[in-house]
Amino acid sequence: MCTLKRMAGLIFSVCLMAAVMIVPDTAAYAKASVSSQSVDMTPEFQNPDIIEITYDAANAQLKHIKTNNKNLIARQTYQKNRKEADRWDKENPYGCAKIGLYAKKTGTYKVTFDVYAGGKKASSHSVNVFVRSNTDTDYPIKKATFAGKTEFYGVTGKKSGKFKVTMNKNYKLKKIEVRTYDKNGREVVKTVKNGAKITLGAYAYKYENDYSYHSSYNSSWYYDLSTRLFAETSVRVYYQNTKTNAESSASYTLYRKPKN
């Protein structure tokens, strides 16, 4: 009788080990990765791509995007998914998504959403949102200057100058990106050091498409052109709260008369 019990116990242990091996690790098989678990932002300011999600499975999509307070509005602003992995897209082989936020008031909020893959729920996620006024003493950026001046409006006659940012207490600088456009109107992104001399873009954003179609039955033609009034140089400052680990960014834009 004892032998039968020992055998039964052994069989149960083997079955239990097999079951543990079969059950997938939800962390390892999560169908998305989120850019940050917490973000910083200011009230009454649109952040169209503040939360970025990278898909880890084919045919993925976001569902059930919710906030825990009516003073915070969340909405999906971008979606790209694929049936099969794109080996040329190293960062987002299966696609990605973005969620934009708008806060009416300062406070601490939370955004939750689910990721579905193949029509089934694959994972759930939450992001903490810290909303602070730029008049608060703990606002991330204490001072930002270009060529020694704090004004970032109007059209400048300068072609270059040093860009420097000073962070407030409890915040650290992560990186600085400078976005300009080349003579064909395509975006160029460079990472620079704090206090480095940057060259302002000389060309405006431009999109041009000349399309024609001809067949034995009919033909068509159309032309599209979209451009900006000035040559824009956008300086985006990425930072992190050293207490909450929340990450976010702020942008400063400089304008010049374009060559194109």
Give residue 8's pLDDT band: very low, low, confident or very high (50, 70, 90): very low
pLDDT higher than threshold 70 for residue 171: yes
Which is higher by pLDDT, 113 or 210?
Answer: 113
SS3 35: coil
pLDDT higher than threshold 70 for residue 17: no
| Residue type (1 letter), 140 | P
Q: Report the pLDDT value the prediction gives residue 146, as an integer from 0 to 100.
A: 94
SS3 150: coil
Residues 252 and 260: their CA atoms lie apart, in Å, by: 22
pTM listed for this prediction: 0.56
Which of 120, 141, 98 is closest to 237 using CA atoms?
Answer: 141
For the segment 116-149, what is each residue's pLDDT rounded down to a tens digit? 988 899 999 999 999 887 655 567 888 899 999 8
Structural contact between residues 34 and 53, judged by C-beta atoms closer than 8 angstroms: yes
Q: Report the pLDDT value the prediction gives residue 6, as an integer from 0 to 100.
A: 43
Which is higher by pLDDT, 74 or 132?
Answer: 74
Q: Report the pLDDT value the prediction gives residue 135, as an integer from 0 to 100.
A: 57
Q: Which two tokens stand for residue 213?
A: 């179609």
| Residue type (1 letter), 88 | W
Residues 245 and 179: their CA atoms lie apart, in Å, by: 26
Q: Report the pLDDT value the prediction gives residue 208, as an integer from 0 to 100.
A: 78
pLDDT higher than threshold 60 for residue 237: yes
SS3 125: strand
pLDDT higher than threshold 90 for residue 36: no
Which is higher by pLDDT, 107 or 246?
Answer: 107
Q: Which two tokens stand for residue 131?
A: 């909303």
Q: Report the pLDDT value the prediction gives residue 206, as an integer from 0 to 100.
A: 83
For the segment 240-253, what is each residue's pLDDT rounded down to a tens digit? 989 888 888 888 98
Distance linking the first and last C-alpha atoms of the chain: 92
Which is higher by pLDDT, 228 or 179?
Answer: 179
